A and B are shown apart, each in its own frame.
Chain A
Amino acid sequence: MIRRQLSCRQVGRSLQAFLDNEVHDPDHAARLQGHLDACRDCGLEAETYRAVQRAIARSAAPLDSPELARLRDFGARLAAGEVETDP
């Protein structure tokens, strides 16, 4: 079967969902990846979005906060039946 190649415009419509692993049709995902591999402009566009995503992800606050430690302990005490749970 001959697959029609996607246009840059078509790729642009799905690009962010593809980068978020939210394109669930494997055939469409493969065509998107093929286009990104072959098209310099779209490949650079994808790389730009990836770089922005990575920069944001790296800005995440560390999760070893006292609040989270207390919440983990609270959950453990709930599971151990040590917390009064009546509303």
Chain B
Amino acid sequence: MHRLVDGAAWAGPTLTGPPQRLLAGQDELQDRRAVGAFGHMASDAPSTSDRSLAVGVGAQPTPGVEVAQVSHHGWELRHPTNNSRASSRAAAMHLCDPSRKHVDRPMVASPVDSGSDEARRQAFEHYVLPEVDVLYRVGLSITRNPADAEDLVQDTLLRAYRAVDRFDGRHPRAWLLTILRNAQLNRVRRRRPELLADPDRTMPTVADTAPGGASADVPVLEATFETAVGAAFADLSDRFRVVVEMVDLNGLSYQETADALDVPVGTVMSRLHRARRRMRKQLEAAGIHTPHDLPEDAP
């Protein structure tokens, strides 16, 4: 099912002109196609072509959020205690709280006057703001540069804001990672148009900094376990290291990692498992053994 998204994402034409404006439009179209593709996953959701806010139709309400019908064709979210709209900036900042974990965040709201700014802002608050931290981590893994990651995520947030009224409410993180991936492809095309077609090259090679750090010469024999792991990790090639980062550092699932990197889930598993085996062999070769005496929460 996700291949629909992937197919749309890679369906762009080769661009030769002054492309930035065109690319932006094209890329946004890809985001919309992604929405449509995810819409297919929601068998109980209405068509995304009816311009309705197809969010969470038929889904369970989010705890702590009530739904009030505001017109014959619209809904809005209301806070259960004060019955006020949760759209203030302060409330929005609260939604950025990284402790607010979720994967699937069905919002009971629909079918509405989807063009309304208020509905769009509510959907954005509900689905997007809680994922800002994860998006930044993933952006860091992909760009390997805080400033680039910030630009990438800011672009992703803008695209998500424009597209959120057509999002079906299922798997918001996967949806956002698809948008982020498209945004990153757009950035890569602007900078290095020769890297149009190969995701294995485009995604990791955006790195502004070479891995460079540790090499086989690192004196791991005298190093602590964690230092040795860090050295083995840094020795991985980009395509392997980025997958380990997505799963072990950023906490993404295999499917979410596949969405972010535009590779099949099987490829994620293969690279991840090979990368870990490689690190483990490097540790063994260096005579570093598992620190069974280290507590799990050791700093």
Q: How far is the CA of A54 from the CA of B161 in the complex (A)?
A: 35
Total interface residues on B, CB under 8 Å, equals 58
**A79 contacts B154, C-beta separation under 8 Å:** no
Residue from B88, B273, B294 in contact with A80 in the complex, judged by beta carbons closer than 8 Å:
B88
Any chain A CB within 8 A of the CB of B140?
Answer: yes
B4 CB-CB contact with A under 8 Å? no
Chain A nearest CB: distance from B34 CB in Å?
16
Q: Mark A32-72, 1 if CB is under 8 A from B, else 0.
A: 00000000000010011101111111111101010110111
Name the CB-closest residue of B to A74: B154
How many angstroms between the C-alpha atoms of A70 and B153 in the bound complex? 11
- Cα A75 to Cα B87 with chains together (Å): 12
User: Which of A59, A67, A79 counts the most chain B CB atoms within 10 A?
Assistant: A79
Interface residues of chain B: helix, strand, loop or mixed (majority): helix
Tell me whether B208 is interfacial, beta carbon within 8 Å: no
Residue contact A52 to B93, C-beta cutoff 8 Å: no
Question: Which B residues between 123 and 152 are near A, CB-CB below 8 angstroms?
Answer: 124-125, 128-129, 132-133, 135-137, 140, 146-147, 149-150
Chain A residues, Cβ within 8 Å of B24: 87
Q: Is the CB of A76 within 8 A of B229?
A: no
Residue numbers in A under 8 Å from B149 (CB-CB): 67
In contact, A80 and B121 (Cβ under 8 angstroms): yes
Whether a CB of chain B sits under 8 angstroms from the CB of A77 is yes
B107 at the interface (CB under 8 A from A): no
Closest to B294 in A: A51
Contact status B276-A49, CB under 8 Å: yes
Task: Report the bound CA distance from A63 to B87 in whole Å.
Answer: 25
Cross-chain contact of A51 among B135, B137, B147, B291 (Cβ < 8 A): B291
Q: Is B132 within 8 A of A72, CB to CB?
A: yes
Q: Are A68 and B133 in contact (CB under 8 A)?
A: yes
**Taking A44-B290, A67-B150, A68-B132 as contacts, is the C-beta distance between A55 and B269 under 8 angstroms?**
no
Judge whether B161 and A85 touch: CB under 8 Å.
yes
A52 touches B280 (CB 8 A): yes
* Residues on B with beta carbons closer than 8 Å to the beta carbon of A61: 140
Residue of B nearest to A22 (CB): B254
User: Residues of B contacting A26 with CB < 8 Å?
Assistant: none
A16-B272, A63-B136, A71-B154 given; A80·B89 CB < 8 A: yes
Q: Which residues of B contact A53 (CB under 8 A)?
A: 248, 276
A75 and B92 within 8 A (CB): yes
Residue of B nearest to A54 (CB): B296
Is the C-beta of A30 less than 8 angstroms from some C-beta in chain B?
no
Complex interface: chain B residues within 8 A of A63 (CB): 98, 133, 136-137
Among A17, A49, A68, find the residue whose CB has the most chain B CB atoms closer than 10 A.
Answer: A68
B200 interface hit (Cβ, 8 Å):
no
Is the pair A78, B133 in contact by a Cβ cutoff of 8 Å? no
For residue A54, give the distance in angstroms from its CB to the closest CB of chain B.
6
**B residues in contact (CB < 8 Å) with A:** 24-25, 28, 87-89, 92-93, 95-96, 98, 117, 121, 124-125, 128-129, 132-133, 135-137, 140, 146-147, 149-150, 153-154, 157-158, 161-162, 225-226, 229-230, 233, 244, 247-249, 253-254, 269, 272-273, 276, 279-280, 283, 290-292, 294, 296, 298-299
Q: List the interface of chain A (C-beta within 8 A of B).
A: 16-17, 20, 22, 44, 47-49, 51-61, 63, 65, 67-68, 70-83, 85, 87
By Cβ-Cβ distance, the 6 closest A-B pairs, closest first, are A79-B92, A55-B229, A76-B92, A67-B150, A80-B89, A72-B96
